[in-house]
Amino acid sequence: MNKNRKALSILMRARMRPPLSPTTNRINQMQFPPMDGSSNNKASTSQNASTSFHTDFERVQQSMHSAMSMNKIEILDAALDDFSEGYYGLSNENRRTLLLALAREYDLNRKQVRELMKQYLGLELPSSDKPVENVHEGEGSFSAFYRIELNLRHSLKPMYEVLFERLNTHPGGLKFLSIMRSDILSFLAEENIVSLRALDSYLKEKLITWLSPANLQLLHITWDDSASLLEKIVAYEAVHPISNLLDLKRRLGVGRRCFGYLHPAIPGEPLIFIEVALMRNIAQTIQEVLWDDPPIPECEATCALFYSISSTQQGLSGINLGKFLIKRVIDVVRRDMLTISTFATLSPIPGYMQWLFSKLAPTEISDSTFSENLLKPEEESALLEAAEEFTIGENGMEVLRNLLSSHQWINSEKLSSVLRAPLMRLCSRYLLQEKKRGKALDSVGNFHLQNGAMVGRTNWMADRSEKGLKQSAGIMVNYIYEVEHIEENAQSYFSNGQIRASDEVRSYLEPEEDLQQETKD
């Protein structure tokens, strides 16, 4: 363990980034010929560099073509190696050009598809009234249909499927495909290109199949695991950053659990991991989980609290591995710890402040029918009185916006007390009523609700960190996973967007608002 501690100490001081792939390291270590110092050679050096980059791109493009067209295993493996290594060495712009070429030039052959469809539509279906004297005669009348259907299935597969399939079975290929998709998503965020969108959709479907729970291994991650694995936990923790070795050890020690999903093709690197606190009751603040008193004896725990779930691969975005991980962890904890009967989260509300500021934004049209006063009369009066010496504004909405733009209000007990009622009420509205395409607007909420959870409780001043205040004014939410209702809740949410919530959370809403929501559900 000394090696582990030494490696991790270096890591914590450096606040490490995710490790480079072996291929990337090899590329970084390549030795380039020294540049001639004479001024006469500067132009030619620049030209040679440009030519070199152009040649490198063409070489990668050729190796990509070879990886799809060749069939000899020895040559194919070399082509896949050349392609993946060459791709890592390309500039961002060249990667974009290459992926566009892959999406457009190696798509399916639509002329062939149209011709086969014409042939198919031109066939005459055998009459169902005519008796079939023998089995062979009946099958023979459909032989043309079977032949064209087979050809259609083949022609409806784009050529780049071959590349994806071959990379998936190639050493390091699955990780490479994840990196490739991460690039695709990055380029799509800049410009929505239809062919690139289709490429992403096809690759995503393939990854969903290859990363099914049957192909994943659940690992209980402990302090005794390798330093390289623990480094990745530190590097990829996305919800509550790990501050030091003591923090890491605590999260992996008594009263805590960390589970990750690994794939055999990407050894030693969890695709996603979840952190669990074993507690007597459902925590109301993140301080209780991370920084307060030592954990209770595990035999006294009745609640398993999921307080952080992090994906390590940007290229797996939109592939809900977390759903399977949570359900698997619930099964494992129930089996190993019979005293645990409650499964819940302590979750951030990342979109709350963004939504609230959009509602508080000033409108240029006075008395607009689209404007809405978010504050009740008594809330506005109390706010204006409490904020008189702190901020300026013509009305409660302006004062609220000005106060929330700065985090100084949390240092005033008076302001904090006055803001609690409207912020908690509006948070309940945001979680239960604000929707996008019929589903919860909040991304974390949507994730847990589609997994079968219910909204259990909102918690005031649960996360006082800069991030927590910026995202949700410090409010966090407990989602409850009632084992006997998980599938029922998930089905109701998928079918009609119905959100189950406790009476406590619904009590923040106006009775008529709550009734309208139940009617919609």
Residue 60 is predicted with a pLDDT of: 95
Of 178, 347, 428, 472, the catalytic one is 347
Model confidence band, residue 406 (pLDDT cutoffs 50, 70, 90): confident
**DSSP annotation string for 381-399:** HHHHHHTTTT---SSHHHH
Model confidence band, residue 32 (pLDDT cutoffs 50, 70, 90): very low
- 342-345: strand order across its sheet: 217-220, 256-262, 272-279, 303-311, 342-345, 476-480, 454-459
Q: Which of 170-179, 328-337, 360-369, 490-499 has the lowest mean pLDDT?
A: 360-369
- Tokens representing 455 are 């909204």
Nearest to 454 by CA among 365, 328, 373, 347: 347
Distance CA 158, CA 165 (A): 12
Residue 246 is predicted with a pLDDT of: 92
Convert 87-123 to b/e letters by CB count within 10 Å (16 or more is b).
bbbbeeebbbebbbebbeebebeeeeeeebeeeeeee
> What burial class does residue 151 get, using C-beta atoms within 10 Å of its C-beta: 0-12 exposed, 13-18 middle, 19+ buried?
middle
The type of residue at 432 is L
Of 65, 170, 263, 448, the catalytic one is 448
- Tokens representing 373 are 């006063």
Residue 285 · residue 463 · CB < 8 Å: yes
To the query of whether residue 448 is one of the catalytic residues in this protein, the response is yes
Q: What is the pTM of this model?
A: 0.82
Find the Cα–Cα–Cα–Cα dihedral 42, 48, 53, 55, rounded to 10°.
Answer: 180
- The pLDDT of residue 29 is above 80: no
What mean pLDDT value characterizes the chain? 86
Distance CA 446, CA 451 (A): 8
CA distances from 521 to 140, 199, 435, 493, 499 (A): 53, 36, 12, 9, 8
Residue 485 · residue 452 · CB < 8 Å: yes
Q: What is the mean pLDDT of residues 184-209?
A: 96
Model confidence band, residue 109 (pLDDT cutoffs 50, 70, 90): confident
Residue 71 is predicted with a pLDDT of: 83
Find the Cα–Cα–Cα–Cα dihedral 5, 11, 14, 18, rounded to 10°.
Answer: -170
Distance of CA 363 to the CA centre of its chain: 34
To the query of whether residue 485 is one of the catalytic residues in this protein, the response is no
Write the pLDDT tens digit of every residue in 485-517.
Answer: 999 999 999 999 999 999 999 999 976 555 455
**DSSP annotation string for 44-94:** HHHHHHHHHHHHHHHHHHHHHHHHHH---HHHHHHHHHHHHHHHHTS-HHH
Angle at 274 between CA 226 and CA 202, to 5 degrees: 100
**Backbone phi, psi, residue 306, to 5°:** -85, 115
- The pLDDT of residue 37 is above 50: no
Helices 413-432, 396-405: inter-axial angle, 10-degree rounding: 100
- Tokens representing 236 are 């990829």
Residue 231 · residue 8 · CB < 8 Å: yes
